[in-house]
Amino acid sequence: MRLLVTGGAGFIGANFVHATVRDYPEDTVTVLDAMTYAGCRESLAVVDDDIRLVEGDVNDAELVARLVAESDAVVHFAAETHVDNSLADPQSSLRANVLGTFTILEAVRRHGVRLHHVSTDEVYGDLELDDPRRFTESTPYNPSSPYSATKAGSDLLVRAWVRSYGVQATISNCSNNYGPYQHVEKFIPRQITNVLTGRRPKLYGKGANVRDWIHVEDHNDAVRSILAKGQPGRTYLIGAEGERSNLSVLRTLLELMGRDPDDFDHVVDRAGHDLRYAIDPSALSAELGWKPKHIDFADGLRATIDWYRDNESWWRPLKDTVEARYEKRGQ
């Protein structure tokens, strides 16, 4: 397959490109990435000779049309992805996530190219801690933040383009990813690199909020299964039964790093902070036979900590700027 991977210089996209080069050497990969603050050429250094990297915006309709016309399938990761940034600057999320997806949809419509749209469980809003239900394909959308509202908007555009124009597209909504190459603004890498730079980890509010963690390789395996075997028009939920409170993740991380598990600061909570996300992944397993491989969270976290320890040159240049921004917000 000739794959066009948007946002391939970001966290999940770069891991997807690594796995494609390793496991599907017959594929060709073109990455289209605007190289925002979240995009990083270094994340693709190990596959530099195996792929084509085009620096450009998914809103550049002419460029997108040209690249789509040369492809068999588009895997659309590109987005503004940080909830805290979307609260401070919602317009950037709207532009990248809604208008960017519109531009991709128009190009795949014109050229009859298969699309997989990568989305998030945050479109479903949040659950109470004791709610026995989890998110499924039929849970109504109820996004809380500018980020999740713009991702929800992008999903609805994809559904409309499938129905109205017969675009061959699938959607996946995945839970919180962790693993190598994640930006240090996000929860797990932020706390690991706080410890590694002699800062105290920062927990929003009481830390009772629950996220459903999945290793990035498992997410990308699922995306690959959907690309190969998914039914156009369908939405698939991806999760690995990994619900944990932020407090428990932080305490585990501190223990794995040889620190006192209470050695962190409680900081100002996020506005509108979603309480709990939980994915029911049974439809994906039953229909496509996908199963996560990284089922021991402590093992995955240990390997992630090791990766950040061994790759300081990748994250060190970003760290002070990110922490200065958080400090201004009291976080």
Only one of the segments 172-180, 196-204, 270-278, 294-302 lies at the binding site for ligand NAD (rule: CB under 6 A); that segment is 172-180
Q: Coil, strand, or helix at residue 255? A: helix
Only one of the segments 54-62, 197-205, 249-257, 274-282 lies at the binding site for ligand NAD (rule: CB under 6 A); that segment is 54-62
Contacted entry of ligand TDX, ligand NAD, none for residue 254, CB cut-off 5 to 8 Å set by kind: none
Distances (CA, A) of 266 to 199, 210, 292, 329: 13, 16, 32, 13
32-44 burial, b for 16+ CB within 10 Å, e for fewer? bbbebebbbeebb
Are 237 and 173 within 8 A, CB to CB? yes
The answer to whether residue 7 forms part of the interface with ligand NAD (CB under 6 A) is yes
Choice from 20, 30, 86, 120 touching ligand NAD (CB under 6 A): 120
Catalytically annotated residues: 121-122, 147
Q: How far apart are CA 100 and CA 78, in angstroms?
A: 8
Choice from 139, 144, 176, 193 touching ligand TDX (CB under 6 A): 176
Q: Given the complex with ligand TDX, which of 114 and 276 has the nearer CB atom?
A: 276
Residues 6+ away with beta carbon under 8 Å from 320? none
In eight-state DSSP terms, residue 291 is: -
The answer to whether residue 36 forms part of the interface with ligand NAD (CB under 6 A) is yes
Choice from 3, 47, 51, 58 touching ligand NAD (CB under 6 A): 58
Give the per-residue contact string, 69-88, with ligand TDX (x = CB under 6 A; - = no): ------------xxx-----
Minimum gap (Å) between residue 121 Cβ and ligand TDX: 7
Choice from 74, 158, 174, 254 touching ligand NAD (CB under 6 A): 174
Count of residues for the chain? 331
63: left (phi over 0), alpha (psi -120 to 50) or beta: alpha
Contacted entry of ligand NAD, ligand TDX, none for residue 211, CB cut-off 5 to 8 Å set by kind: ligand TDX
